Structure 1
Amino acid sequence: MLGSAILKVRSGRATSRTLLAKELGISPSTIGLYVDRLIAEGFLNESGLNQGPMGRPRRLLTTCAEAGWFAGIEFNAERIQAVGVDFSGRASAAESRPLPAEVKAELVIEEILECVQSLSRSMRGPLLSLGLGIPGLVDAQAGVGLLYAFIPDWKDIPVSEKIGSKLKVPVILQNNLRAIALAERWFGLGHDLSHYVILGPRSGFGIAMVQGGLLVEGAHRAAGEIGRWPWPLDGASGKNQELHHALSASATWRRLAGVGPQEKLPPDLRAALASCADIKGQVWDEVCADYARVIGCLQMIADSGVFILHGPLTMLGNRFCDDIVSAAYEMMPALSTVPLKVVPSSLGDDAGALGAASLAMEAWSPP
């Protein structure tokens, strides 16, 4: 309950003892004991006066930024993103590190530890917890990275044990796209949403779903692995292709740029995609139609409030999202009963790291 109280204050939903009692559904006298303890231990401040439209002024509750910090790290086969977030939920430090081609799991672990050490030089207070956004299949409860196809030896890696034993703090794992869903809740468009879907066409293609304010993991922790769907969806190509072969960020750039599948990727994929944002014609329409087919099907399943696009394809802008929606309505008239909305995220490349830090914040409670 103490952890929940801190989360409510940090989110801005509870700025007084009275509001905090209402948010948590407990008596004012009990909340008074909690708040007094959290103030005494240096986690909350109570100062100033907040005069509402009626009644007596209320003293303001805020979190103590210097009480400690949370590290958030997300990686894929190409790079590591890291952020440090203070106790009040403000990102205060960031770092990005490239990974070599054909990187091994052990090097990824070493780089994560070095990133945390580097972040600590810019942060105040003790490190309280580390959140990790891990690609592929994750057993979050056991703290194990189960499988990631783009790092061949990333199989059944006891990540929490390997890293937690060195840092001496809790290490919380989650699939990286589900971590991004938490980043949207704390730092982006999902703050006031209970139903939304993260679209993640990056080196592969996956999604993360939030339903009723909760992350959807699935019975086998594989919810959202749509990149493994056959492509085309009827499976008729005879090439044994999967969806990510055609709709990942790199594959989409190759299609829009009119280059072959073996063409080397540009050093800055985001900039290269930005240069494609004004393309018109058949290729653009075909790409949008492919995304419309996938997202339209997902909407009929999930009935989401909004699909939030992440990754390099956000550089294609609102026009890309709007054209997807238009193509989906034309393709699937039934969508008129479950309206479709697709928007680019306002968060950047560090969204996964911000989400991982959010994961650490949400899971942490005072000892």
Structure 2
Amino acid sequence: MAYTIGVDLGGTNIKIGLFADRQRLIDQHWTPTPAKAPPAQTLQAITAGIQAMLAQHPGDLTAIGLGIPGLVDAQRGISMFSPNFPLWQDVPVGAVLHKEFGVPVRIDNDVRVNTIGEWRLGAGQGESNLVMLTIGTGLGAGVVVDGHLLRGATNSAGEIGHMNMFRHGRPCNCGSAGCLSRYVSAVGIVQTYREKRAALDLPAVAAATPKTIQVAAEAGEAAAIATYQAAGTLLGFGLTNIVNMYNPAVIIIGGGVAGAGDWLLRPARQVVADHALAIPGRACRIVTAQLGNTAGMCGAAQLVRKESVPR
């Protein structure tokens, strides 16, 4: 049998999937990411994981795809910079793995790879115009227009998380302030929750997470309800800009924070209904992702398909 490998390289785990026909997930292998180690150690962990899977499933390896956080040169297979890996700079990931396995190797940014996964195998199947937001610690996005994944002049297309929502807002690591990701993300939601509790003279909750805030909202806590109302409303204005700018048929919301479901999406959908241009607004569905934590592996395996090559 012929196999394709899809690798989702995360700051916590390396997820390696073995695929038949680039679509059917046969097996997967997870291993901790040595994020603070030199690049060679991480690449060795990837190599060992792939070798272990191939040992369990004898066959012909045809290609390897990887999703990597940060800025990548997809054409040359180089990871230029990754915020998750402090020692990484201009790492020739493609060349190293090609030398080891002798097959074509493709890489791309992890959020774009997640987008490809949902586009080809998940909530975006059959669509030629879509946007995927991954809301976790931060907010990333991938954009597909007329069947092509957008990259931009500096590989930065789709940085929707840095859409400016407030002229004088929360400082962002990008150097600006008021970015959408500073409010609609795990970090942003927790900060908003603390602010809402302080405004109501309630004691601080040191270990708050989006999930615990959701539980508190379900129990009727006013500060938690107001937190998700604020985050969902701001997300809605961000989605309104996306609808008006890209005219997608579907916007897919993924990542850990998407687990809040209607607590986040109900106010967002209402804002889009009220403020987006009428025709593209009515034509756009806002849905949650389908593939969960396999999206990155699935998308990475799809990178070798000609029609999904970034343009």
TM-score range, shorter chain: 0.7 to 0.9
* Residue of structure 2 equivalent to 1:246: 183
Equivalent pairs: percent with the same residue? 24
In structure 1, runs of 5+ residues without a counterpart are: 1-65
Is residue 203–residue 248 contact of structure 1 (8 Å, CA) maintained in 2? yes
The secondary structure found in structure 2 opposite 1:106 is: helix
The secondary structure found in structure 2 opposite 1:342 is: strand
Give per-residue Cα distances to partners, 1:182-236, cap 9 Å, x unaligned: 2123321222111111111223321101111111111211101233444xx2331
* Residue of structure 2 equivalent to 1:160: 94
User: How far apart, in 1, do the equivalents of 2:11 and 2:37 lie?
Assistant: 7
Matches within 5 A, 1:225-240: 225-230=159-164, 233-237=165-169, 239=171, 240=176
TM-score, L = length of structure 2:
0.82
Amino acid at match of 2:169: S
Is residue 8–residue 66 contact of structure 2 (8 Å, CA) maintained in 1? yes
How much does 1:115 deviate?
1.9
TM-score, L = length of structure 1:
0.70
Is residue 140–residue 159 contact of structure 2 (8 Å, CA) maintained in 1? yes
Match of 2:231 among 287, 293, 313: 287
Quickly say closer, same or farther: Cα 1:363–1:284, change in 2 above 3 A.
Answer: closer
CA RMSD of aligned residues (A): 3.0
* Residue of structure 2 equivalent to 1:206: 140
Is residue 71–residue 82 contact of structure 2 (8 Å, CA) maintained in 1? yes
* Residue of structure 2 equivalent to 1:178: 112
Report whether the alignment pairs 1:169 with 2:103: yes
Matches within 5 A, 1:30-109: 66=1, 68-87=2-21, 89-100=23-34, 102-109=36-43
Report whether the alignment pairs 1:357 with 2:296: no
How much does 1:309 deviate?
0.9
Highest Rg: 1 or 2?
Answer: 1
How much does 1:363 deviate?
7.8
How much does 1:160 deviate?
0.5
User: How far apart, in 2, do the equivalents of 1:163 and 1:262 lie?
Assistant: 46
Give per-residue Cα distances to partners, 1:145-196, cap 9 Å, x unaligned: 1222232232221110122211221110111122122212332122211111
Kindly indicate whether structure 1 or structure 2 has the higher relative contact order, using CA contacts under 8 Å at least 6 residues apart. Answer: 2
Quickly say closer, same or farther: Cα 1:299–1:103, change in 2 above 3 A.
Answer: farther
Match of 2:126 among 189, 192, 210: 192
How much does 1:275 deviate?
3.8
* Residue of structure 1 equivalent to 2:201: none
Give per-residue Cα distances to partners, 1:76-133, cap 9 Å, x unaligned: 2222221100136310001222335645433322221122122213334111110001
Is residue 289–residue 328 contact of structure 1 (8 Å, CA) maintained in 2? no
User: How far apart, in 1, do the equivalents of 2:306 and 2:216 lie?
Assistant: 38
User: How far apart, in 1, do the equivalents of 2:14 and 2:197 lie?
Assistant: 28
Is residue 22–residue 301 contact of structure 2 (8 Å, CA) maintained in 1? no
The secondary structure found in structure 2 opposite 1:151 is: coil
Quickly say closer, same or farther: Cα 1:315–1:192, change in 2 above 3 A.
Answer: same
User: How far apart, in 1, do the equivalents of 2:39 and 2:205 lie?
Assistant: 26
Is residue 318–residue 343 contact of structure 1 (8 Å, CA) maintained in 2? no
User: How far apart, in 1, do the equivalents of 2:32 and 2:208 lie?
Assistant: 15
User: How far apart, in 1, do the equivalents of 2:252 and 2:146 lie?
Assistant: 16
User: How far apart, in 1, do the equivalents of 2:216 and 2:69 lie?
Assistant: 27
Report whether the alignment pairs 1:302 with 2:251: no
How much does 1:143 deviate?
0.8
Report whether the alignment pairs 1:343 with 2:280: no
Between 1:146-155 and 1:161-170, the stretch displaced more is: 146-155
The secondary structure found in structure 2 opposite 1:247 is: coil
How much does 1:253 deviate?
5.1
